[in-house]
Structure 1
């Protein structure tokens, strides 16, 4: 079935920005020439506003949207488990959007805020494009973004500190005597992929270890893709003694491939994941993983959104949740029960834009 017209296709036909289309369709003040172009393109493409959604513009819906890339990803589920009860206690229902990390779908979800079918949104974009930034700037309802956005973006923002998290993992592997530490990453045009790739290079440099392109393999953030990436890496490099994986799903794929190849974990190859999902403790061997506080980020995001709905006048806030390394059997045959190594003292800190730190995602 052919997909109907979207604000992206209208913007392309009219020759204007996505934000301009959103402003016109939501009745915001806009240059008459822009209005004419947008309305002509919308009519030509057969775009029809949702009359029911339009009727909701002037009143609260007591609904909040949660938009994520993949409803099956355990890190997002950990966020959801914290978001839902916080919102429910405040009298809000939750509307879920699984976008598949398709940028056009995420842009349409942001545009739909103008129809006021929800009072606000929590979004976890895998990529942050110029189109995202345009729509966040034009949003007619509060949005909280989980993940890094550029300084000056007018939204509340909850971040993980990938830089410190990767450093904890690489330091741990190096302390165990591993010196051929490979990175199995997701796409580097994504927020987590870019952050973890940069953090890996920094961690090696801090330890005085050389960066070797041969030890970096790019796949995707899924178990099967992670397995394929590790297989390609092992076919190319024979002396890898540790794998730093960009998330737990990649790490589980790594364990599958290592087991099939007759490699012992951790004796031959140590493996570290990221996110410390429920799967990490349940895997065999149990997976050492960097917790990026997925549940905490979900809870904080929900609280920030509720604050914004009650008082929309304060400056955008940035909250960084510190990571911790959870040591299990995939890096040492006799792990110390479960040992937590924190990356920062104390609780997550709330910062204004002017004091925002870098290197988080």
Structure 2
């Protein structure tokens, strides 16, 4: 069997030393004209680098994993769009893993870091950090960044948002529009966002001097169809003049039901989502939504991970991305 091109044959074709070829193929600083000669020779000879051998030699895979609950959720899509270019510029490939929000799956992702399938991990646990997560994060053999809330003292870099402040922004906006019967469509309470937004809704009502009415609250899941079902259940027993939804997908489901009930948005019912995804501007009417900085959280997580991979920073760091409110047609002009 004919032997494929090697650094020796590449060196001969390029007219440079074997050491120069090795430096170029391993990404080490080399004169620009040498890089051009080596890469041209490699292309002509059909050289394909042996990634496995290189990773064993350097103890690096040049891959970073990102584990999230739902790869199709617009919030995570926004994160990935920021994470990937940051990593690509630094020479890393991005490997995506959808956990379905399953704690055991998340724990398995952390455990398998010991197999060196990636040089680092970004993970966003939907149901929070359990004792199993914490044990593995403490002993993680590769740098890890958590997007979401973590217990105080967890020894990893962390990027979070303040969804409680986001809920408060939404309710203050609706209150300022004269809305006093404000419903709430939430996701599962055993998830981090569901629990945080449930508590924030009650706190925000109290801060505005409005009573908490359980008939105005419905729990479903963070998807459009489940949001529609939750909205139907809510409207069967009450008629709020505004509804806050725990994410934009739920809000789209609620919008479907409000249309079916011939309730005008925003005239009859003002509607607010959360996450401020692209869906908010694609909806009709366009959706007022609380932005929780998904894209920025993704970018900052990637930057923290790269910094730790390059520099091995000693102390864990916490970055908090503040929420914003984007006011659009689903509330604007509501009387």
TM-score normalised to the size of structure 1? 0.76
- Measure the CA separation in 2 of the matches of 1:108 and 1:78: 25
Q: Please name the residue that 2:294 is paired with.
A: 294
Q: Give the Å deviation of 1:135.
A: 1.8
1:57–1:115: 8 Å Cα contact kept in structure 2? Answer: no
Shift of 1:333: 4.0
- Using the TM superposition, give the Cα deviation of residue 122 of structure 1 relative to its aligned residue in structure 2, in angstroms: 0.5
Contact 1:56 1:115 (8 Å CA) reproduced:
no
Which secondary structure does the structure 1 equivalent of 2:79 belong to? Answer: helix
TM-superposition CA deviations, 1:157-183 (whole Å, max 9, x none):
101111111101000000111111111
Contact 2:147 2:158 in 1 (8 A): yes
Aligned residue number for residue 31 of structure 1: none
| 2:167 matched residue in structure 1 | 166
CA contact (8 A) 1:56 1:117 kept: no
RMSD: 1.7
Report if aligned partners of 2:266, 2:334 keep a CA contact under 8 Å in 1: no
In structure 1, distance between residues paired with 2:233 and 2:57: 52
CA contact (8 A) 1:119 1:142 kept: yes
Q: Give runs of aligned pairs for residues 1-361 of structure 1, distance below 5 A.
A: 56=56, 59-128=59-128, 129-237=130-238, 239-333=239-333
Contact 1:56 1:116 in 2 (8 A): no
Q: Deviations along 1:253-307, whole A, 9 cap, x unmatched?
A: 0000111111111111111000000010010110000000000000000000001
Q: Partner of 1:286: helix, strand, or coil?
A: coil
Q: Is the 8 A contact 1:241 1:270 kept in 2?
A: yes
Residue 57 of structure 1: how far off its partner (Å) = 10
Q: C-alpha separation between the residues in 1 aligned to 2:206 and 2:334?
A: 29
Deviation at 1:334, TM superposition (A): 7.7
How far does residue 154 in structure 1 lie from its aligned partner after superposition?
Answer: 0.9
- What per-residue deviation string (whole Å, max 9, x for no partner) do you get for residues 67-88 of structure 1? 1111110110000000000000
Structure 1 residue runs of 4 or more that deviate by more than 6 Å after TM superposition = none
Residue of structure 1 equivalent to 2:43? none
Q: 2: distance between equivalents of 1:60 and 1:291?
A: 36
Q: Could you say which residue in structure 1 is the equivalent of 2:49?
A: none
In the TM superposition, what whole-angstrom CA distance separates every residue of 1:5-60 from its partner, at most 9, and x where no partner exists? xxxxxxxxxxxxxxxxxxxxxxxxxxxxxxxxxxxxxxxxxxxxxxx99x959701
Q: Give secondary structure in 1 for the equivalent of 2:272.
A: strand
In structure 2, the partner of 1:3 is none
C-alpha distance in structure 2 between counterparts of 1:313 and 1:157, whole Å: 13
Would the aligned equivalents of 2:307 and 2:313 in 1 still touch at CA under 8 Å?
Answer: no
Q: CA deviation at 1:313?
A: 3.9
CA distance in 2, matches of 1:215, 1:130: 35
Structure 1 residue runs without a partner (length 5+): 1-51, 336-361
The 10-residue stretch of structure 1 (239-248 or 325-334) with the greater mean CA deviation from structure 2: 325-334
Q: Name the CA shift for 1:315/1:173 in 2 (closer, same or farther; >3 Å).
A: same
User: Could you tell me whether the CA contact under 8 Å between 2:177 and 2:334 is conserved in 1?
Assistant: no
More divergent stretch after superposition (153-162 vs 308-317): 308-317
Higher-Rg structure is 2
Cα distance in 2 between the residues matched to 1:116 and 1:195: 34
User: 1:103 Cα shift?
Assistant: 1.3
